[in-house]
Structure 1
Amino acid sequence: MNHDDAVGRRVYGTDHDDPNPFPRPGRIYRELLGGPLDGQLLDVTDWMPEDLFTGALLITPLGMYGPGGRADYGPREDDPFGPWVWGGDVP
């Protein structure tokens, strides 16, 4: 996802009181679809290529398991470079 498409969208992991929780130029993001982090962007700029194909368990206070629980997000098989979809919550 390029910067122009992402402007105004919150980046996962930014603090709630961050004055600029939005995407920054020169960074690479994956949109998160579904689940507790729906609509947020994940900064994957410094990730290893193999990690981009496996996805991530992202900490979220909003999931089924409450604070400290994780949400499973990963690429779709038919679009490995597109948005990451929610696969469920994990304790």
Structure 2
Amino acid sequence: MDELLRRRRVYGADHDDPDPGPRPGHVYRELVAGPLDGLLLDVTGWSDRRLREGAVLDTEIGSYGPGGHTLYGPGPAGQDRWEWQGDTP
């Protein structure tokens, strides 16, 4: 696994987790822009269809605050980088 990737934080990891980075054998997408910019999303075991559709992720730091969600999905940057598509309540 690339050294830079190992130093990144995975979406959903606790802030006090001593090792919030990626795990060997897992598959990740980098989240680009928006409130979760720079985090990695674990997509291990996701179907091709689900990977094409992207994800709606819980976040308290988006436009709608606590209880809000943010949308990420594949974009022109490539399959390994998912771009922010907006926030939703």
Is TM > 0.5 for Structure 1 vs Structure 2? yes
Provide Cα deviations, 1:23-49, integer angstroms capped at 9, x if missing partner: 111110000000000000000012111
> Among residues 77, 81, 84, which one is paired with 1:83 in the alignment?
81
Output aligned runs, 1:1-91, within 5 Å: 3-4=1-2, 5-76=4-75, 79=78, 81-91=79-89
Count of residue correspondences = 88
Once residues 62 and 10 of structure 1 are traced to their aligned partners in structure 2, the CA distance between those partners, rounded to angstroms, is 16
Give runs of ≥4 in structure 1 deviating > 4 Å.
none
User: Kindly, what percent of the aligned residue pairs are identical?
Assistant: 57
Gaps spanning 5+ residues in structure 1: where?
none
2-side partners of 1:13 and 1:32: how far apart?
13
* Aligned partners of 1:76 and 1:82 also within 8 Å: no
| Alpha-carbon contact 1:31-1:39 (below 8 Å) kept | yes
SS of the aligned residue for 2:31 comes to strand
Q: Distance in 1 between matches of 2:77 and 2:68?
A: 28
Separation of aligned partners in 2, 1:82 and 1:25: 16
The structural deviation recorded for 1:18 is 1.2
Code of the aligned partner of 1:12? Y
| Mapped partners of 1:24, 1:78: distance in 2 | 24
Question: TM (normalized to structure 2)?
Answer: 0.92
